[in-house]
Amino acid sequence: MTVIDANRMHEIETRYPEYFHRSFRQRFGGLMILIATLLYSLYAVWFFDLPKLFAEAHWDRVGIYLSQWVSYDVQPEFRIGDDGSIDIRYPRFSPLGDNPHPDWLVNNPDGSITVSISGTGRSVTVSKSETIVTAHGVSVPVEVSSGAPKVVGPVPGWMTVYDDNVLADLGFAGNVSISVDRVKIRKRFIGWANFIFDTQSSFFDKPVGEVVSLIVSGQRIKPDQSNLSLAFDDIWNNSEWQHGDVWTKLFQTIVMAFLGTLLGSLTAFPLAFLAARNITPNRLLNQILKRFFDFLRSVDMLIWALFLTRAFGPGPLAGSGAIFLTETGTLGKLYSEGLENIDNKPREGIKSTGAQTVLVHRYGIMPQIVPVFVSQTLYQWESNVRGATIIGAVGAGGIGLKLWEAMRTNANWENVAYMVILILIVVFIFDAASNALRHRLMGTKAH
């Protein structure tokens, strides 16, 4: 066991003062950061009134919207005439077409009609005097022969009685609205209705085998057009899903991102040489260009898009211009900072041989900066594919505008899901391609 005397201890303290005489910040810095974070979190909870926000939020709408992303509904309406007849009507542009005969709707011998809501025992039987709703293991009759619908027996929790109608909530499977002269049923199905062919197509509601047979060897449906061409036209011009318009707008978004990033990089590249202090020793010019870059990138891309749509009107030109202005500022700053951090020895060596300025830049600077510049540009291009979707929502063209139109109706959430999935696929593809190119240029291994 080694014993250290007072003189030896004093010598060690003198030699290593950073360990024995730590400042207040060094001793309590971590604790102060933790306390500041907690205080800020409490302030954020108070400022945004999060308890009230969460208490008043419409959480039920989340489930409704998500269900509408992956399903569709059919809404048959049964109108009961004075003579006891039952007339079945469907909304205009029903997913079932103009003359539907679904197998889940059965005409009974006594004149009533039974609708199977789902495969779990939920059904509705409509007759001239009453409607019977079967769900959750019970059957609840609702009389419709008097002035207002009347539930016979106890009212279950999934059924609500109003003055002039009775509403039965059957969960995800749908719901039933019962009044004296009509019964409206909302029946929900998993999937996307008529995604390939709409109700106006010659191939609508045909089995897959029959469609393939018609395309490959069947007799022409239209004498002046092959069945293959007709099938492609029907898919591309699908009135419900608008595949042609969606894909065209998606391509516009990609072109907007590419064109804006390309023009921004081409503009920022020469300006960065003038903004770099070690390349252009003119402090006034350096500062003017750097502040110019700051101005361009400090105005958000969305704001530039709003300005340009007012100047040039809605369309992809405004979107490309917004990306161009933002990228000129962002890439100009990145390029100039990259130039200021290069190794000056190769440049000075080539300069000492009496080479011209262009050759000094070509052989002393370019080999150092090209991989970094290309990597930064690819990353910005990848980011702008996502950004182009956002600015499209304000009228700058592309799929963003179409996505906003579908969301604004609050009724086409399956179309929203379709476009969101397409955007995600494009982003994933561009992310993978950009990463692969960056790693190849930088000489590193992709993970």
Tens of pLDDT, residue by residue over 138-190, are 899 999 877 788 888 889 999 999 988 999 988 888 899 999 889 999 999 89
pTM for this predicted structure: 0.78
Task: Give the C-alpha separation, 116 to 120, whole Å.
Answer: 9
Residues forming beta bridges with residue 185, ordered by sequence position: 176
Helix 366-391 vs helix 399-408: crossing angle, to nearest 10: 30
Residue-level pLDDT at 2: 60
Task: Note the pLDDT tens digit of each residue in 229-272.
Answer: 999 999 999 988 999 999 999 999 999 999 999 999 999 999 99
Q: Residues 119, 128: contact at Cβ < 8 Å?
A: no
Encoded tokens for 21:
């005489």
Q: Which long-range contacts (CB under 8 A, 24 or more apart) does 364-367 make?
A: 365/279, 365/339
Encoded tokens for 3:
């014993």
Residue-level pLDDT at 446: 54
- Which portions of the chain are predicted below pLDDT 70? 1-10, 12-24, 119-120, 441-447
Question: Cβ of 181: how many Cβ atoms within 10 Å?
Answer: 10
Residue type, 30: G
Nearest Cα residue to 256 out of 389, 402, 121, 156: 389
Backbone φ and ψ for 248, nearest 5 degrees, come out as -65, -45
Task: Give the C-alpha separation, 143 to 133, whole Å.
Answer: 11
Encoded tokens for 371:
């991989």
Task: Note the pLDDT tens digit of each residue in 197-212.
Answer: 988 888 888 888 998 9
